[in-house]
Amino acid sequence: MDHERRGRRRVVVTGLGVVSCAGIGLEAFFDGLSGPAPAGERRVRDFDPSPWLDVKQARRADRFQQFSVAAAQMALDDAGPVDPDPARAGTVFGTGVGGLQTLESQISLMIEKGPRRVSPFLVPMLMANAGAAAISMRLGWQGPCETVVTACAAGTQSIAAAYRLVASRRCEVAIGGGAEAAITPVAMAAFSNMTALSSSGESRPFDRRRDGFVMGEGGGALVLEDLAHARARDARIYAEMLGAASTADAHHITQPSPGGVGALSCMELALEDAGITASDVTHVNAHGTSTPLNDLAEAEALEKLFGHPTPPVTSIKGVTGHSLGAAGALEGVATALTIYRREIPPTVGFEEPDRQIHLDLVTGGRREFSDGAVLSNSFGFGGHNGTIVMCTYVP
């Protein structure tokens, strides 16, 4: 598409960082997406914040903030010497619930030992913008520093917002992504009581036996850069960002609109924003949470958009679980790696087809990726929908 004619700069992905139960770092993460799935909750069990935060900094940062800083710094290290004008470097980092672990622990402390024992760092540790703020302060980036808090769509919508900062010429470079660390006693009880969690403890996206999601955690970050800026420093380019969109179902606080109407509208608008058509899409990284209603609604939307057969579709949540506000960020990293490595990871956990779902699901192992455009979807409680579009970079 003619970006200059549309008043935009071309935006490319030059750096990736990830903290996930599938692996910490790009190689471990992408290899881990081919399974097998971890047992139980999808915790990042071997995470050590010390490479990115000293002891005092780590003690004063909630786990979600630690994930944010680690993923962002890994992405920047991966991108190489970006060296932007600080005033033209932006940070957009999302989360669903922010510092929930700190909040729960401090409430328990107050009940047990009184209000004087509550940490003076509670507020800066629990606030949702702590991740974005910590990244910008660490890097000295003085451009827009924003936080998207749109439940499970937050990671994808953060990448979209970062993309727009660069495409609109406001920034030369921006980091987009998200982080979450919400595997806490109260959160798990709440999600369980609302019957959102899998009673079997298995994440089975689009499978006939799917019965809810498995809680995950982690963080993902993408360095998005003006193509001219990237070329000037001879940067490695994973993929090109073409466009993005967001819509609202305006239907129900937790359930998707019937027939996937909101999801379909979001994908159509993203394609329009990217200046391409459905026929240009060669892969979809689906939201695919393993919940009965959401998987069905997304499948219906994909079938309406593409007809039959659909492009190859995968959900990585069979391995990663559902990490709420970090989910779209992890999937954004997976999408860029899919394009760069020309391999689509499988939908781990899928075994038994659902007669109501007719998707070309990638199962059983990786599949070769055909050059073209990729949609990455996220849909959140509250009816928030987000779609980003990436493609194979062509000089």
Tokens for 379, please give them. 């849909």
8 Å CB contact between 204 and 350: yes
Helix (H) or strand (E) holding 248: strand 239-248
> Can you tell me the distance from the alpha carbon of 174 to that of 13, in angstroms, rounded to the nearest whole number?
10
CB burial string 304-318: b at 16+ within 10 A, e below: ebbeeebbbbbbbbb
Q: What is the DSSP letter of 163?
A: H
Cα–Cα distance between 289 and 350 in angstroms, integer? 12
Give how far the C-alpha of residue 85 lies from the chain's centroid of Cα atoms, to the nearest Å. Answer: 27
Identity of residue 50: S
In the chain, the largest separation of any two C-alpha atoms, in whole Å, equals: 63
Q: Note whether 389 and 374 are within 8 A (CB).
A: yes
Q: Which amino acid is at 292?
A: P
Q: List residues with catalytic annotation.
A: 152, 287, 322
- Residue 162 · residue 224 · CB < 8 Å: yes
Task: Please name which of 253, 381, 375, 259 lies closest in space to residue 324, comparing C-alpha atoms.
Answer: 381
CB 304 within 8 A of CB 258: no
Three-state SS at 10: coil
- Separation in Å, CA 253 to CA 38, 147, 269, 380, 381: 30, 21, 22, 9, 6
